Chain A
Amino acid sequence: MTTKATGNHRLLQLKSIKKVFARGTIDEVTALASIKLDIYDQDFVTVIGSNGAGKTTLLNIIAGVYPPERGGSVTISDEDVTHLLGYRRAVYIGRVWQQPETGTAGKLTIEENLSLALLRGQSRGLKGATNKQRRQLFREELAVLGLGLENRLNTPVYTLSGGQRQALSLVMATISKPAILLLDEHIATLDPKTAKTVLDLTDKIVRLEQMTTIMVTHNMEIALNYGNRLIMMHKGRIIVDMGEAKKKALKVSDLVSAFERAAGEEFDDDTILLSRGE
């Protein structure tokens, strides 16, 4: 497998990651079979793979929603965070989930959601959650979306459309500029125009803030055209991992046929698809 490093130092390292759900029951699923992955500073990795391939599970392991099986390890900036769960890892990781409801608090207003997001990983005190200065910042950040949300700071979020909520999620995930950004099919529910807006905004923020990004998508074109590295997952394994040069040379049709082959077949650990890309 080719793995191209962008920044010089390794920001995220996953070793022997395995995840089994409902172990010992008839519903037992091996969501992640064996994952080894090094992600370098400022990598922008796009991830594709069929439903149930383990993409969301992988992001959950990175974010510390649950730990991997014994023996696996997650390292961020050379700190072993395998057992540092959930909220303690949040300082490093911004995230936009697959469902718009997951990334926002529906009963709170836009302003309250952003206030919550702004203090990512910081200690919270008895200061007022919002003030004039913060509100001004929120308006500026929202205005970039072009959805008019900057004029609706006091609107409860449950009244927004799914797309508006997802766009807000992106702003919330990035407003405090975490080192790592995890995006889980974050534009899948948006209309084409908003999807383009949010995707371009994602790209812009990622470049501007130099965030290391992992973006899951089912859109092959997006997977090829964005980022500097592409990963394909299948049945809990990474079956393709290619760098920028290889990715540039590849056409969507190549990727689609590789994907279809992957979906239809079993692969050994070391199978490398897409050898003709170069």
Chain B
Amino acid sequence: MDIFGNILGVACYEGLVFGLVTIGVYITFRVLAFPDLSVDGTFPLGGAIAAVLIVAGVNPFLATLAALGGGLVAGLVTGLLNTKLRISALLAGILMMVGLYSINLRIMSGANVPLLREVTSFDVIAELFGLHGGLAVSITLVSVVVTLFFVVLNWFLRTEIGLALRATGDNEEMVRGFGIDTDKTVLLGCSVSNGLVALAGALVAQNQGFSDVGMGIGMIVLGLAAVIIGEGLFHPKGIAPILLACLGGTFVYRLFITIALRLGMAPGDLKLITALLVVMVLAVPYLQKRMRKEWLEPAKRW
């Protein structure tokens, strides 16, 4: 029981906090059709900013907000590389990812910053609610943050600007034809996306007690895998269901990873698990259709 509870708890926490990454990836890849790889750099950027500020004595919530701001700016730069300098989205993201690696090292003046002796946002919440169990605190804080962003995004994407953003990835020429500056909507989307990712990085760093320059490796894979799992399992239609599917997909993904770890698999094997999980989610419905001899769409390349 206890071990189950613990596994579920871990998956819950990770599903929520990495769910922010997934929503970020969803916004660029799916909403904007902008394959943005800067995520691997903006996640540790958030961790680095928050950690350095907390060590410097800044209020941990303010430090977290600053990390969000850092991500917004980084995403904006990715968007600018694409829209103003006409560098392809893929390359712009890769350049940002590479560039941010050095920037993150500079921010932290080294490869990592320990936070074990510092008061993090999680410690403040624990104090506030008189909680002791580490996991309960983690889940409480990230639930609040995720709920907040869920509500805001669910509202924002339905506004006039939000609609323009969603339409941009769908049919840019038409959107311009209705008088919308699609450069601006792309900038906005990239910015919001990376802001969310950096926020997640800041929370993860505080939760694990250190920020590390390598903590972003594989974030883009996580985000994409979770998007695909969420879409594959829940077939979401409408904005709120899509956001929930991002969170659900992340939860399922992290649940598998947690279980695999508990079963004693080496951390090095996790990448393979990720790959197999994505293949499974994509292939099972296809194979089912195949067995039922249904009509099959030709393979997609993008």
> Is A117's beta carbon under 8 Å from chain B?
yes
Interface string of B166-185 (1 = CB under 8 A from A): 11001101111111111000
A115 at the interface (CB under 8 A from B): yes
Interface residues of B (CB under 8 A from A): 156, 158-164, 166-167, 170-171, 173-182
Which chain A residue has the least Cβ–Cβ distance from B160? A124
Residues in B whose Cβ lies below 8 Å from that of A65: 173
Question: How many angstroms between the C-alpha atoms of A245 and B163 in the bound complex?
Answer: 47
A59 CB to nearest chain B CB (Å) = 11
Offer 18 A-B interface pairs, CB within 8 angstroms, sorted by A: A63-B177, A86-B177, A87-B176, A87-B179, A90-B177, A93-B177, A102-B174, A104-B171, A105-B174, A106-B170, A106-B171, A107-B166, A108-B167, A120-B179, A121-B179, A124-B159, A124-B161, A128-B160
Q: Which residue of B lies closest to A112 (CB)?
A: B163
A88 vs B164: C-alpha distance when bound (angstroms): 15
Cα separation A65 to B182 with both chains bound (whole Å): 13
- A78-117 interface bits toward B, Cβ cutoff 8 Å, 1 = contact, 0 = none: 0000000011101101010000011111111000110111
Q: How many residues of A contact B (CB 8 A)?
A: 33
Q: Which of B158, B160, B161 has most A Cβ within 10 Å?
A: B160
* Pair A129/B174 contact, Cβ less than 8 Å: no
Chain A residues with Cβ under 8 A from B164's Cβ? 116, 124
The residue in chain B whose Cβ has the minimal distance to the Cβ of A127 is B160
B163–A129 touching, CB < 8 Å: yes
Residue A119 CB within 8 A of the other chain: yes
Q: Are B159 and A125 in contact (CB under 8 A)?
A: yes
Shortest CB–CB separation between residue A170 and chain B, in angstroms? Answer: 13
Residue of A nearest to B180 (CB): A87
Q: Is A122 an interface residue (CB 8 A)?
A: yes
Query: With A and B bound together, what is the CA distance between A90 and B174 in angstroms?
Result: 10
Q: Report the separation of the CA atoms of residues A86 and B179 in the bound assembly, to the nearest whole angstrom.
A: 7
Most buried by A among B170, B174, B180: B174
| A101 in contact with B179 (CB, 8 Å) | no
- Verify B160–A119 contact, CB threshold 8 A: yes
Q: What is the bound-complex CA distance between A77 and B18, given in angstroms? A: 53
Per-residue CB proximity of A116-151 to B under 8 Å, as 1/0?
110111101111110000000000000000000000
How far is it, in angstroms, between the C-alpha of A112 and the C-alpha of B163 when the chains are bound?
7
Residues of B within 8 A of A88 (CB): 179, 181
Q: Is the CB of A116 within 8 A of B163?
A: yes
Which of B159, B161, B170 touches A105 (beta carbons < 8 Å)? Answer: B170
- Which residues of B lie under 8 Å from residue A108 when comparing CB positions? 163, 166-167, 170
State how many angstroms separate the Cβ of B71 from the closest Cβ of chain A: 21
The residue of chain A having its C-beta at the shortest distance from the C-beta of B165 within the complex is A124
Most A CB atoms within 10 A — which of B170, B178, B181? B178
| Shortest Cβ distance from residue A58 to the other chain B in the assembled complex, whole angstroms | 16
B173: chain A residues within 8 A (beta carbon):
65, 102
Given contacts A108-B166, A126-B159, A127-B159, contact A95 B179 (CB under 8 A): no
**Alpha-carbon gap, A90 to B181, bound state (A):** 10
Say whether, besides A108-B167, A126-B160, A103 and B176 are in contact (CB < 8 Å).
no
Question: Which residues on the A side are within 8 Å of B175 (C-beta)?
Answer: 87, 105, 116
CB distance from B239 to the nearest CB of A (A): 10
* Known pairs A87-B180, A102-B173, A124-B160 / 6 extra A-B pairs, C-beta < 8 Å: A65-B173, A101-B171, A108-B170, A112-B163, A124-B159, A172-B178
Q: Are A124 and B174 in contact (CB under 8 A)?
A: no
Closest A residue to B33 by beta carbon equals A107
| A121 surroundings in chain B (CB, below 8 A) | 178-179
By a CB distance below 8 angstroms, the chain A residues around B161 are 124-126
Cβ B179 vs Cβ A104 within 8 A:
no
A37 → B minimal CB distance (Å): 21
Considering only CB atoms, which chain A residue lies closest to B162 in the complex?
A129
Q: A65-B173, A101-B171, A105-B175 are in contact. Are A87 and B182 (CB under 8 A)?
A: yes
Say yes or no: B176 contacts A86, CB within 8 Å: yes
